[in-house]
């Protein structure tokens, strides 16, 4: 029995040598990947890799109007926009009086940097308002409906 176990182990070991994974590449004639140096220099990569302090410093340097929020679960550096970006008012579909306290107006400082970049483009096309559904969707369990009443 012991000899049989060794034989089985040896067979699996030999089969495993041929089962070394190789690199698999997807192919699409439309997919274009920029060189790593171009990706690393892209604003998305730069913003995503900023520390909280760096993101806030960049918002301040640009003069982005914002208000810091306290700790918000799921948002690394939570803020609210406190005015237009390059003349573009960015807000949710909620009535104006509800926006100041709504979680749906909260965004990360890094996202604000990207929105600031985008607002430059929107301004060039005379866009003055960008309405979104939400920038932050808290992962909250849905409230269960009450059980049906039995008469």
Q: Sketch the domain layout of the chain as residue ranges.
A: 36-132
pLDDT of residue 50: 97
Mean pLDDT by 10 residues, the chain (151 residues): 65 58 72 87 94 98 97 94 97 93 94 97 97 82 65 58
- Encode pLDDT of 14-26 as tens digits: 555 555 566 667 6
Copy the structure tokens of residue 56: 């806030």
Phi, psi dihedrals of residue 44, rounded to the nearest 5°: -60, -45
């Amino acid at each position: 029995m012991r000899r049989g176990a060794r034989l089985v182990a040896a067979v699996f070991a030999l089969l495993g040598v041929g089962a070394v994974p190789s690199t698999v590449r997807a192919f699409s004639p439309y997919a274009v990947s920029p060189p790593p140096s171009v990706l690393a220099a892209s604003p998305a990569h730069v913003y995503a890799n900023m520390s909280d302090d760096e993101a806030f410093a960049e918002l301040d340097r640009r003069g982005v109007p914002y208000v810091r929020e306290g700790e918000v679960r799921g948002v690394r550096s939570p803020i609210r926009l406190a005015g237009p970006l390059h003349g573009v008012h960015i807000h949710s579909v909620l009535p104006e009086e509800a926006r100041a306290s709504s979680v749906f107006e909260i965004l990360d400082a890094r996202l604000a940097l990207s929105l600031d970049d985008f607002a430059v483009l929107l301004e060039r096309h005379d866009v003055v308002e960008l309405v979104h559904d939400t920038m932050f969707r808290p992962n909250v369990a849905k409230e269960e409906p009450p059980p049906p009443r039995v008469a």
